[in-house]
Amino acid sequence: MAHFPPLNLPAIVAGFQLGPRVNIFLVHLIVGMAILEAASTSPIVNRFIPDYTTAEAGNPFVEGWYADPDTEIYDGLYWVYPTSSYAYDEQTYLDAFSSPDLINWTKHPNILTTANVSWATRAVWAPAPISRNGKYYLYFGANDIQEGEPEEGKIGGIGVAVADKPEGPYVDAIGKPLIGEYHNGAQPIDQDVFLDDVDGQAYIYYGGHSHANVAKLNEDMISIGTFDDGTQFKEITPENYVEGSQMIKRNGIYYLMWSEGGWTGPDYSVSYAMSDSPMGPFNQVAKILQQDSAVAKGSGHNGVIHVPNTDIWYIVYHRRPLSETDGNHRVLAYDRMYFNDNGTIEPVKMLVKDNFANGEMFDWKTYGGDWSVINQRLSVASSDIATAVLDTNFTDLVFDATVAITDGDGDAGLVFRATNLSIGMDGFEGYYVGISPAGSVNLLKPDAGTWTLLSEANLEVSSRTEYQVRVTAYGSQINVFIDDLTHPKVTAADGSFVSGATGVGVRNADARFGSVSVAKP
C-alpha cells in the first residue's frame, strides 16, 4: 500500500452547499482533515498529535489476514510488525507497515522470510522489533517445537534477525535459535523485547504452553545474559497466562500483558499485571480486551503504541470478523487504551468508526452498485438499489453518518439491524432510513422483499448537500435525527428485528457517505 497524496480540501467540499442544515459538525470535520494533512508531511516531533478514540479511518487499519502485532517508532514513523495469518506452513514470511499518522499505512513486504533463516524449516511468526546501537533487531518464533523435541535434536524456538533499516531486509543474526529449549515449562515462542530506561538493560519476555519467562539480553542483543544468581531464565507466570507476552512501562510501573484462551476461539483475550520491578512479581489485575458480540471475536495478542511525549496509548491487536469461521482469518485493529488515576487500565472498548481518511473501505461488504472512496467519502454511483455494510451485529445502538445525494430522485440513508444481506437490498430484513430530494425522510422496514413504511416526515433535501443522520434504537423504540441531534425527525416503535449488521444504502440514487460511527448507547 502506498502513501496517499496530500488532502485536497477544496475538492472534498466542492459541489456541496453549506446550507442551514449543515451545522458545526461539518466545520469540525474540515478542520480535522486539515490537521491530518499537516500530519502527513511533518516529522513526529513537529506534527500534530494523533489523539484518536480508535482507528478513525476504520478497523482493520490495513488490508489482509494478519495477527500477533508488535510495534515500534522509528525515524518519525509508527511501525507495526505482524504475523502473516495463514495456515501454519504458509507463514513463511513477515511483512511490516509504517505510518506517519496512524491513518495512512505503507506496506513493506517480505522483510524476513524463511529463506533468510537457515534453521527455519516451517513457519515464522509473532515478530518483536527493537533498535539498539544503530541496528534494527527482529525477534521471531519458528518451527513450533514441542516439549521434548529439542532433546530429540529438533531445532526451533525464538530467533533473532538484524537489519540496517526498519523495513529490512532482516537476516538471521546467529544462525541458530536464541532460545531453543524449554525452560520452566515455557515453550520458546511469543516474545517481547523491552529496553528499560532506568539502566539500559534489555529484557526478553516470552512463553507459550501457559508459562512465561523473563531473561536478560546482553548489550549485543543477540545473546542471553545471566542474572546475579547465575541463572538465565526466571519464571514470572501470572494467573491465567497462556501466551503473547508484552511489556510496557508508564510512570515507573511495569505492565506485563498477555493473552488468555485459545487463539482460534472467540474467548481469546488480553489481561495484565503491574509491578514495581521488571522482574515482577506479576499478579493479574484484570482482563482488559475481549470479544464483543457486536463488533469482533478472538481479540488478543497485542502490542502497544505510546505517542511520544504524551499520555496517549493505543492497544494494537488482532481479532476475527464476526462472520469468519477460519481460525487464521484474523485482521489488525487498534483502539485507545486509557489509564485510571491509580495506574490501572480501563477495559478497552472496540469502537466502530470510519471517516475514510485513508481512501479505503477495508471492512465494507457491498451488495449491488458501484462503490468506491472518493475524497474521503464512501460513494456509490448509477445504482437502482445497493447497500454497503459492516460486519457488525448491534442490537441497541447509536448510529451516525453523513449522507448526501449526488444524483437521482430516490433516497439514501442508513441500514441497521440487517440480516439476510446476501439476498440484496431488495430482499434483506431489518430497517432503513432514507432521505430524499422529493422532500421527505422515511423510516422503513424491509422484510424479504416487502417494504413497510413505519414513519415519515417532510424534509427539505438539496442535492449534493451533506446531512448528518443519526439513528438511535433502544429495544423497539427507533428515533431518527437529521442535523438536529436533540429533536428526532421521525420516531417509531417496532420490535420485528432486534439485531444485525449496520451500513448504508441507496434506492434509485447516487450518494456519498462519511464519518460513520456505530456505538452502544
Q: Please state, in angstroms and rounded to a whole number, the distance separating the CA atoms of residues 383 and 348.
A: 39
Neighbour tally for 311: CB within 10 Å: 10
The one catalytic residue in 37, 56, 68, 190 is 68
Per residue, the 3-state secondary structure of 280-324, as one string, reads CCCEEEEEEECCECCCEEEEEEEEEEECCCCCCEEEEEEEEECCC
Residues 6+ apart with CB under 8 A from 213: 183, 184, 186, 205, 206, 207, 233, 234, 235, 236
User: From the CA atom positions of the chain, what is the Rg in Å?
Assistant: 25
- Helix or strand holding residue 333 (H, E): strand 331-337
The answer to whether residues 266 and 298 touch, using CB atoms and an 8 Å cutoff, is yes
Which set of grid coordinates corresponds to residue 128? 518483536
Q: Tell me the three state secondary structure of residue 32.
A: helix
Give burial (CB, 10 Å; 0-12/13-18/19+) of 107: middle
Which set of grid coordinates corresponds to residue 459? 424534509
Query: To which residue does cell 459492516 refer?
Result: 390
Output 85-93 pairs: Cβ under 8 A, ≥24 positions apart: 85/318, 85/328, 85/329, 85/330, 86/328, 87/328, 88/122, 88/123, 88/144, 89/122, 89/123, 90/123, 91/123, 91/124, 91/125, 92/123, 92/124, 93/124
Cα–Cα nearest to 465, from 385, 508, 406, 386: 406
Q: What's the full length of the chain, in residues?
A: 521
Residues 6+ apart with CB under 8 A from 73: 44, 79, 305, 308
Measured in Å, how far apart are the chain's first and last C-alpha atoms?
35
Return phi, psi of residue 134, to 5°: 80, 5
Q: Please state, in angstroms and rounded to a whole number, the distance separating the CA atoms of residues 74 and 55.
A: 20
Query: To which residue does cell 489509564 refer?
Result: 339
CB burial string 209-228: b at 16+ within 10 A, e below:
bebbbbbbbeeebbeeeeee
The one catalytic residue in 37, 167, 243, 335 is 243
Cα–Cα nearest to 129, from 241, 254, 221: 221
Degrees to nearest 5, angle at CA 408 with 407 and 410: 130
Strand-pairing partners, residue 447, are 429, 450
243 annotated active-site:
yes
Which set of grid coordinates corresponds to residue 439? 422532500
Q: Tell me the three state secondary structure of residue 9.
A: helix
Which residues are part of the catalytic machinery? 68, 243
